[in-house]
Amino acid sequence: MRTRAAATLTALVFAALLAGCDGAPGYPKGESVPPSQVTDFHALYATNCQACHGANGEGGPAIDLANPEYQALVDDASLKKWISGGMPGTQMPAFAQSAGGMLTDQQIGAIITGMRSEWRKPGTFPGLTPPPYAQPDGGNAGHGQQLYQTRCASCHQNPARQQVTSPIYLSLVSDQVLRSIIIAGRPDIHQPDWSHDTPAGATGQPLAAQDVTDIVTYLYSLRNSSAAAGTSALAAHPSGDSRGRNER
């Protein structure tokens, strides 16, 4: 009798342990959602974006997505293009399944909608019209070099600041990223936008759209040896331009 009672008790304890396994650490509770069906912005952002753009859209090595000026500057079509297919000239990979990534079109849409909801603010440019988002061809590298010296160099020659003329840095960013940072700034690293005054002979006026284009063209010339060969000549003859640029 004792043996049978002991066996019965052991079976009951074992059954109870099995029933409680779903509460054990590491054991999934309820039904798991397939990765392709996750549409929560915060979950998608943490998994796919935060490593480069920062936990809250700022403070990462890549552009500050939480910057309201950047969110006001870039349109939905451009965001979808970069997220889906990656950005040439940068470390930004393609995330769309159609381009070899892991995200569906619905998930990419959820990321864009979430960014707008979290970080876009109305009235970001009160009384001002920022330069266009897209970097065009035909910039004047010589004029851009002059502008860089008067509007940018005093900060970026400081060893404590990003050396934006470094070929190493320029190899990691595209022309479009450079233009976006010049226009929208990066508040997370105290980089002002295009409208703020800067020292060393600045005029106190916002940069014009062509000024931004020319500064980016000058930086492009430092990234590309064939273009850099003509930069000094362009500085002496500001009517020159730089064309044939690869996609930004």
Count of beta carbons in the 10 Å neighbourhood of residue 4: 8
Q: What is the mean pLDDT of residues 200-215?
A: 81
| Residue 34 or 214, more confident | 214
- Whether residue 202 is predicted with pLDDT greater than 70 in this model: the reply is no
Q: Please report the pLDDT score of residue 201 as a whole number.
A: 43
Facing residues of 103 across strands? 96
Q: What angle do CA 145, 87, 128 make, to 5 degrees?
A: 55
pLDDT tens per residue across span 81-104: 999 999 999 999 999 999 999 999
pLDDT tens per residue across span 12-63: 444 444 444 444 444 445 567 889 999 999 999 999 999 999 999 999 999 9
pLDDT band at 159 (very low <50, low <70, confident <90, very high): confident
- Whether residue 114 is predicted with pLDDT greater than 80 in this model: the reply is yes
C-beta of residue 133 within 8 angstroms of C-beta of residue 73: yes
C-beta of residue 115 within 8 angstroms of C-beta of residue 191: no
pTM of the model: 0.76
pLDDT band at 225 (very low <50, low <70, confident <90, very high): low
pLDDT tens per residue across span 131-142: 999 999 989 999
- Whether residue 240 is predicted with pLDDT greater than 70 in this model: the reply is no
C-beta of residue 48 within 8 angstroms of C-beta of residue 38: no
Query: Whole-angstrom Cα distance, residue 132 to residue 208?
Result: 10
- Whether residue 200 is predicted with pLDDT greater than 60 in this model: the reply is no
C-beta of residue 175 within 8 angstroms of C-beta of residue 248: yes
- Whether residue 175 is predicted with pLDDT greater than 60 in this model: the reply is yes
pLDDT band at 189 (very low <50, low <70, confident <90, very high): confident
| Residue 156 or 50, more confident | 50
In b/e form, how buried is each residue of 12-49, taking b as 16+ CB within 10 angstroms? eeeeeeeeeeeeeeeeeeeeeeeeeebbebeebbeebb
Residues in the chain: 248
Contacts 24+ apart (CB under 8 A), 163-170: 164/219, 165/219, 165/222, 167/222, 167/223, 170/219, 170/222, 170/223
Q: Please report the pLDDT score of residue 39 as a whole number.
A: 96
Mean pLDDT over each residue of the chain, to the nearest integer? 82
| Residue 69 or 237, more confident | 69
Domains of the chain: 36-119 (1.10.760.10), 141-236 (1.10.760)
